[in-house]
Amino acid sequence: MSYVSEVLANVIAKNPGETEFHQAAKEVLEALEPVVEKHPEYRKNALLERLTEPDRQIMFRVPWIDDKGVPHVNRGFRVQFNNAIGPYKGGLRLHPSVNLGIIKFLGFEQIFKNSLTGLPIGGGKGGSDFDPKGKSDREVFEFCRSFMTELYKYIGADVDVPAGDIGTGAREIGYMYGTYKKITGLYEGVLTGKGLSYGGSLARTEATGYGLVYLTEEMLKAHGSSLKGKTVAVSGAGNVAIYAVEKAYALGAKPVTMSDSTGWIYDPDGIDLKAVKEIKEVKRGRLSEYKAFRPKSEYSTSGHVWQVKCDVALPCATQNELNLDDAKALVKNKVTAVAEGANMPTTPEATEYLIKSGVLFAPGKAANAGGVATSALEMSQNSQRLNWTFEEVDAKLHGIMVGIYRQAAAAAEEYGHKDNLVYGANIAGFTKVANAMLAQGIQ
């Protein structure tokens, strides 16, 4: 049995039922086969065994009382996966589907993503099965306060720095930051994605979506093409999707779809982003309301955006939202590139099919790293007690995304998988962390 197969079998046996974590571990470890073959010192130092076992996983009760006086209990999570190259860093997901396996897949991916940014941040992730949808501001506050009343014990500006993810935006970060400050008395950069008036960074809101489009453009450029004039299918209608659409327009593309958890819209004339922002960011509403702004658009609750003819596809909603049938539909419609704004949105079978069909494919850990990279820039600004301009942060973000593409492409080529960024991103992200772990001894 190869070293990778041995470790994978052990991960599956030791973490029963954590299917998303198994999926992520399999993808990463299989890409590392050629690297561990070339470097026997990794096996000698139990590097993959240590890498797949989180430093610690914290689970806790989150009790809160709703507007009717009824108490509820949710489960809170923080998985601190690896801090070989910097403090744990990664978002907090608030969604009813959240469980330990999902948080572990996200925390594991985050190790390599954060390494690819070139910035000193380790990997972690957290969240809760709380559903902010339909809750009043007071209920969300109650939840966030209760959540942070436990989480504060484990985090800190130089220890672990959480941020947003699905269901956690500026409102939730504000409530959590206020609670941390109140309990500890510390005014420090313990969370990122903060509001601009209390330590947030300009361009953090836009960063994941913009970064996704910067990386996509770089990938297309390397293959003699660009986004200009391209039709783009986007899924999701949250933070990542909205700013991916905004930057796609800026680079001359036409985004024609978006989706939320109840349906999706197709607007052949191009998405009216002002309308989407009004519905999703201001009113916290549903995409079904979009037709009132654009009567010629279509709204559907069956099927998915991937049925629509497009040149470029940007999945920006959630894991495993683009399956083999979707991949076949995209290829049939002559898609040329798929770049993942979400974490692990493409199933393994769909990824394999797209790559075999010659579609340029950018995996999430490379393509959506702009969010966490800009979070790290927020940490730098907090440490310096300075605020950089939007242009300064955006220029750094752009440079980081171009750097990620080049690193991943070079690693893919070095190991004989030219243009396969799944290999390239995993290998490049891994190498830095692995070398830091080797240097620090068996910990």
**Helices 19-31 + 100-116 axis angle, to 10:** 30
3-state DSSP assignment of residue 397? helix
Distances (CA, A) of 423 to 206, 214, 411: 27, 20, 8
Query: What residue ranges in 236-295 does DSSP mark as E strands?
Result: 254-259, 264-266
Task: Label the pairing between strands 254-259 and 298-300.
Answer: unpaired
User: Could you give the maximum distance between any two Cα atoms of the chain, in Å?
Assistant: 64
Binding region for ligand 2IT (CB under 6 A): 89-91, 113, 163, 165, 192, 343, 371-372, 375
Burial of 377 (0-12, 13-18, 19+ CB in 10 A): buried
At its nearest, how many Å lie between ligand 2IT and the CB of residue 386?
A: 19
- Binding flag, residue 239, ligand NDP (CB under 6 A): yes
Span 160-179, contacts to ligand NDP by CB under 6 A:
164-167
At its nearest, how many Å lie between ligand 2IT and the CB of residue 143?
A: 19
Distances (CA, A) of 51 to 7, 95, 423: 10, 27, 17
Span 176-215, contacts to ligand NDP by CB under 6 A:
208
Q: Which does 89 bind (CB under 5 to 8 A by kind): ligand 2IT, ligand NDP, none?
A: ligand 2IT
Q: How far apart are CA 4 and CA 27, in angstroms?
A: 11
Task: Label the pairing between strands 254-259 and 337-339.
Answer: unpaired
Sequence-ordered list of residues with C-beta below 8 angstroms from that of 292, at least 6 positions apart, any chain? none
3-state DSSP assignment of residue 289? helix
- Nearest position to ligand 2IT, beta carbon: 91
Sequence-ordered list of residues with C-beta below 8 angstroms from that of 362, at least 6 positions apart, any chain? 215, 216, 219, 337, 338, 339, 340, 405, 421
Out of 58, 140, 232, 316, the residue judged to bind ligand NDP by CB under 6 A: 316
CA 192 to chain CA centroid, Å, is 14
Which residue in 55, 73, 52 sits closest to 64, CA to CA?
A: 73
At its nearest, how many Å lie between ligand 2IT and the CB of residue 398?
A: 17
If the CB atoms of residues 79 and 437 are measured against ligand NDP, the closer one turns out to be 79
- Binding flag, residue 139, ligand NDP (CB under 6 A): no
Which part of the chain contacts ligand NDP (CB under 6 A), choosing from 79-87, 135-143, 258-266, 291-299?
258-266
At its nearest, how many Å lie between ligand 2IT and the CB of residue 345?
A: 12
If the CB atoms of residues 42 and 108 are measured against ligand 2IT, the closer one turns out to be 108
Q: How far apart are CA 307 and CA 319, in angstroms?
A: 18
At its nearest, how many Å lie between ligand NDP and the CB of residue 79?
A: 14
Tokens for 193, please give them. 């994605």
- Binding flag, residue 255, ligand NDP (CB under 6 A): no
Q: Do 341 and 236 touch, CB atoms closer than 8 A?
A: yes
Q: Which does 111 bind (CB under 5 to 8 A by kind): ligand 2IT, ligand NDP, none?
A: none
Annotated catalytic residue within 104, 113, 125, 280:
125
Which part of the chain contacts ligand NDP (CB under 6 A), choosing from 44-52, 174-182, 255-263, 391-399?
255-263
If the CB atoms of residues 36 and 166 are measured against ligand NDP, the closer one turns out to be 166
If the CB atoms of residues 108 and 353 are measured against ligand 2IT, the closer one turns out to be 108
Out of 260, 267, 326, 378, the residue judged to bind ligand NDP by CB under 6 A: 260
Q: Which does 90 bind (CB under 5 to 8 A by kind): ligand 2IT, ligand NDP, none?
A: ligand 2IT
If the CB atoms of residues 314 and 360 are measured against ligand NDP, the closer one turns out to be 314
- Binding flag, residue 79, ligand NDP (CB under 6 A): no
The yes-or-no answer on residue 68 being catalytic is no
- Supply the residues annotated as catalytic: 125
Site residues, ligand NDP (CB under 6 A): 95, 164-167, 208, 236-241, 260-262, 316-318, 341-343, 368, 371
